[in-house]
Structure 1
Amino acid sequence: MQINFEATELKKAKKYVEKLTTKEEELTKKRKKKSSSFFKDLFQFLFK
Structure 2
Amino acid sequence: MNLNRYLFIEFLNKQNIEIGLLGGLISLLHHPYFYLISFLLPLFQKLLLKRF
**Structure 2 unmatched runs, 5+:** 37-52
- Count of residues in correspondence between the two structures: 35
TM-score, scaled relative to structure 1: 0.64
Higher relative contact order (CA 8 A, sep 6+): 2
TM-score, scaled relative to structure 2: 0.59
Q: Which runs of 4+ in 1 moved over 3 A?
A: none
Larger-Rg structure:
1
**Structure 1 unmatched runs, 5+:** 38-48
* Identity among equivalent pairs (%): 3
> What is the root-mean-square deviation of aligned Cα atoms in Å?
2.0
